[in-house]
Chain A
Amino acid sequence: MSEKKGVRLPARRIQNVFVLLLLAIFAGSSILLTAMGAGLYRDTVAHSDRNNSERILAAIVRGAAHSEDAGTAMVERFDEFGIVSLTFINDYDGEIYYRRLFCSDGALRESYTSAEYEFTPDLGDILFPAAAFEPQLDGSLLTARITTMEGTTQEVSVCLRAGGATP
């Protein structure tokens, strides 16, 4: 009887260890799979966010330029605020209006004011989060370097078809 016990005991132990090993493999694989899924989800969302930011910012600049380029476009520098603004000037019944696109406090903003009022960055409406916006005009070609909040920089070119640009 004691000999039998002596033979059976290691075999049962091995079985127990094997079961525990399987359990450990199961637990480890589950964690690995979950971690892979989480990493992939994070990457996909990050890429999606970056793509969205790039496309939305490009669309805002293109939309603004194409809708307002019948007027005069110019690049204004407000050194006191450290802001470079893309400005479209329109004349409505003798009154001059400025539509400005600029980046301030982590967002691309837009202000639409009469020429009588001075430029105040805080009054600009927030359009979309952006880190930097640097417009340039070369003839009728507008080029804007836009940095998204994700840190990617892209260049957006727009041909001002209808109107002209003031360098």
Chain B
Amino acid sequence: MKETNRTNILLVEMLVVILFFMLAATTIVELYASARQKSIHARTVNSAMLVAEDLTERFYDRQDETAELTAFGFVYDSETGKWVLEKEDYVMTAQVQETAKEAGMLRTILLKAERKDQVLLEIPSSRYLPGEVSP
């Protein structure tokens, strides 16, 4: 009888411990998932940022942004009027806007990286292209 009681007490103890363990495990797994998501997010932002920085430098150097975008693997989407680059972790779009100024053209290329409807970064790259000025 004593032995049975002891076993029952041990059983209850074990069940209580496992219950607490499950609660702790749920919290820890949630934290793991959150840490993993943050790690993936950081990696994606880093990757997108490196591509965007490269592109802005190239836009600054070269006149023909279309050739640069094509060389990077961007594809023109005629429906949205944007250039789209689909990467494994994110999608980068480039939108070219030209604004006529008094003595030239202000060309702005807006680079935007998105991942699952979440905007990772937005980098505008502007360049003033002087036009011909009548004397």
On A, residues with C-beta under 8 Å from B are: 8, 12, 15-16, 18-19, 22-23, 25-26, 29-30, 33, 36-37, 40, 43-44, 47-48, 50-51, 54-55, 58, 62, 139-141, 154-159, 161
Contacts and interface: CB of A to CB of B under 8 A. Distances in A.
B28 interface: yes
A23 B14 contact: yes
Q: Chain A contact residues: over half helix, strand or loop, or mixed?
A: helix
Contact of A33 (B17, B25, B62): B25
Contacts of B17: 26
Given A19-B10, A44-B39, A156-B54, A161 B4 contact: no
B21 A19 contact: no
A18 B42 contact: no
A33 B79 CA distance: 48
B80 to A, nearest CB: 26
12 contacts: A15-B11, A26-B18, A26-B21, A30-B21, A33-B29, A36-B32, A40-B36, A43-B36, A47-B43, A50-B43, A139-B61, A140-B61
A85 to B, nearest CB: 21
A118 B97 CA distance: 50
Contacts of B28: 33, 37
- Which of A44, A62, A156 gathers the greatest number of chain B CB atoms within 10 Å? A44
A47 B39 contact: yes
Contacts of A43: 36, 39
